[in-house]
Amino acid sequence: MSSKPKTDDEWRAVLSPQQFAVLRQKATEEPGTGAYTNTFDQGTYNCGACSTPLYKSSTKFDAGCGWPAFFEALPGAVRRITDKSHGMERTEIVCDACGSHLGHVFRGEGFATPTDERHCVNSISLKFNEDK
């Protein structure tokens, strides 16, 4: 994470209210409503808050969950945090550069991916940069 994090007021100045709710307050988009759920173009998915590259499109797959799913982040781009909210234990994923909430990672669901992981990411937490 950067040495001097932005304040909530600084984030509100650069994010829409919905982006702020998801990226900074850990809200969740409704399933199937995100811009990137069904996007499979070639490129890089960056953090919606700080633009740090997070995922390559080659790691995105259709999990049928209603959110973009990836089986692997770029090395060092995503930090995992134990999340004990909602009466369960999950693994939250955040942008390592700015600490913004991305979603959650799940293991052992049986998807035919190299890592047996599903990074379930809110579309609004991402910015897609298509390969030229």
- The catalytic site residues sit at 120
CA–CA distance, 40 with 92 (Å, rounded to integer): 24
3 state SS of 19: helix
Max CA separation in the chain (angstroms): 44
Picking from 42, 17, 37, the residue whose alpha carbon sits closest to that of residue 27 is: 17
Determine the Cα–Cα distance for residues 85 and 7; give it in Å rounded to an integer: 24
C-alpha pair distances (Å), 31 with each of 28, 64, 78, 122 = 9, 10, 22, 9
Query: What is d(CA 10, CA 40) in angstroms, rounded to the nearest whole number?
Result: 33
